[in-house]
Amino acid sequence: MSTHVTQVDASNWEAEVLKSSQPVMVDFWAVWCGPCQMVAPIIEELAQEYAGKLKVAKLNTDEAPEIAGRYQIMSIPTIIFFKDGQPVEKLIGARPKQQFKQVIDSLLAQSSATA
């Protein structure tokens, strides 16, 4: 696991995601999920590329089912982008890196426009 990716669960969800001062990308995943393993290196790369601008977190749905349920996670991987504690974008399934970058860049552009 990269130093740029934050592990979140029920104990630190509020502090790390809901109260984060920067936008947060949360990867909802599980150990047994093949597509989750495929997307993991992309998540790591994005965490490094956007360090300081975007917080990247991973939540194991098997270890925090109540949070997964709260956001209606029906299939994984699901990546939800949070801004000011609110979910603003959701991507379901393994996606190419460019699709994640488009969402992140648009989110960061909105953030800097409102800042």
The owner of tokens 């349920």 is: 69
Residues in the chain: 115
Catalytic residue selected from 8, 17, 24, 33: 33
Catalytic residue selected from 17, 24, 25, 36: 36
Q: Among this protein's residues, is 33 annotated catalytic?
A: yes
Pairing of strands 24-29, 55-60: parallel
Closest to 85 (Cα-Cα) out of 10, 17, 28, 8: 17
Q: Residue 96 half-sphere exposure, CB side, CA atoms within 13 Å? A: 3
**The dihedral formed by the CA atoms of 5, 2, 73 and 99, expressed in degrees to the nearest 10:** 90
| Residues noted as catalytic | 33, 36
